[in-house]
Amino acid sequence: MGLSLIDDSGVRRPPCSPHAPRVLIYSHDTFGLGHIRRCRAIANSLVASYPHISVIIVSGSSMISSFQFGDGVDYVRIPGIEKQSDGRYLPHHLNLDLADTIRLRTDLIKQTVLSFDPDIVIVDKEPIGLRGELIPSLEILRRRGARIVLGVRDVLDEPAKLHDEWRQSGALDALATIYDDIWVYGLDSIYRPLEGLPNQHLFASKIRYTGYLKRAVPSPMPPNRHPRITKGPFILVTPGGGGDGAGVIDWVISAYETDPTIELPALIVFGPFLSREKRKEFTERIARLPKLESIGFEPRLELLMNRAHCVVAMGGYNTFCEILSFDKPALIVPRVRPRLEQAIRAERADSLRLIDVLFDPTQTGAHARDPGQMAKALHALPKRLPPSQAFLPDLLDGLPAINRALADDLSPPVRGRALAQNAAAG
């Protein structure tokens, strides 16, 4: 089952039914855009395949209202929490301490679960939620007989660090005792994110590798409002949310400052979390370079990705999925702190000839980046083969695989528990 490059979710709207299956997706969202973009892709795919169902995303993302959702999908925004560069968590907006904010989030999640009463729950990455905030809701869901799924990206972190984090939080126990299914949104031939965890025999049978989540161009197509550079071949430079992407942007700008012979122009998308000071500095430098333009934030980045000739990006999961989906020659500049997730993904993808990788020397102790090194990479980038030439089977089967895995629960017009309750009443 394939997935079109045009996202037609929401085209078919069936009659509303209070008895149709319901799906809840939880996303803790403490940094960047990755979690909410992944959850959005899954939700939109589900309602495209099963138009009669309802999906609610519970998210702490401050940017969730910027995204396009299919008919049948809505969201509950819980108070945001930000992860600081030193690893601490702080409330994003509220003048509360962390404990009170977590308590509030816990209550809001639980109330949503009680009221919405989902048949399927998909938890993104964090088995018991941020600081255990999901535990009361998971207990309710188990009692009510919901199917509970943990979905994780292809790479979480180096095994020792993941083991330590999940052991301390209690998340390890949840894999065996709470979850019915564990989906890895990738291929086991590329990476096995849970392989280093202990007691594999307790949950190994639940693990399924779905393939990566293929992305589509949003529909309906909006009016063309992108910079002039996008009229012809160009390089798209995207640091994702931008909160930790200043180094990549600086390196690309310095390459164009040093070498004006770089063939293709570049459009730099700053991302919503790039600091105001850095954005001002970069905008001033870009204004002096005829081959560079910039925009602040594009929630439908797929439009630009589809139009670009090639891509320079960090190594986040969602950007990697888009590079594969739109089959773009790509240069990945992964971060190595505070997690090795992006570096592991980039190195594995590079070894399989899916992308090229270039490490930022300042992240490993060096004092400066070499503009000439980036310029050389930008000269070579338009000539590299696209990812499809690596010929990896089932690489982008993630969304169809998820739809197939939930077919028995979501295909019927009436949810299974409603039928069971009616039979018992009869």
Structure tokens at 140: 């309710």
Structure confidence by residue, pLDDT tens digits, 184-211: 999 999 999 999 899 999 999 999 999 9
Answering whether pTM is above 0.95, one says no
- Please provide residue 24's backbone torsions phi and psi, each rounded to the nearest 5 degrees: -115, 130
Q: Which residue has the higher pLDDT, 319 or 220?
A: 319
Write out pLDDT tens, residues 279-336: 999 999 999 999 999 998 887 888 899 999 999 999 999 999 999 999 999 999 999 8
Query: How would residue 1 be classed by pLDDT, with cut points 50, 70 and 90?
Result: very low
Nearest partner of 119 among 143, 148, 96, judged by Cα: 148
| Percentage of residues of the chain with pLDDT beyond 70 | 91
* pLDDT digit string, tens, across residues 102-136: 999 999 999 999 999 999 999 999 999 999 999 99
Q: What is the DSSP string of 296-359?
A: S--TTHHHHHHH-SEEEE---HHHHHHHHHTT--EEE----SS-SHHHHHHHHHHHTTSSEE--
pLDDT at residue 4, as a whole number: 46
Q: For the chain, which domains are there?
A: 6-214+396-416 (3.40.50.2000), 222-390 (3.40.50.2000)
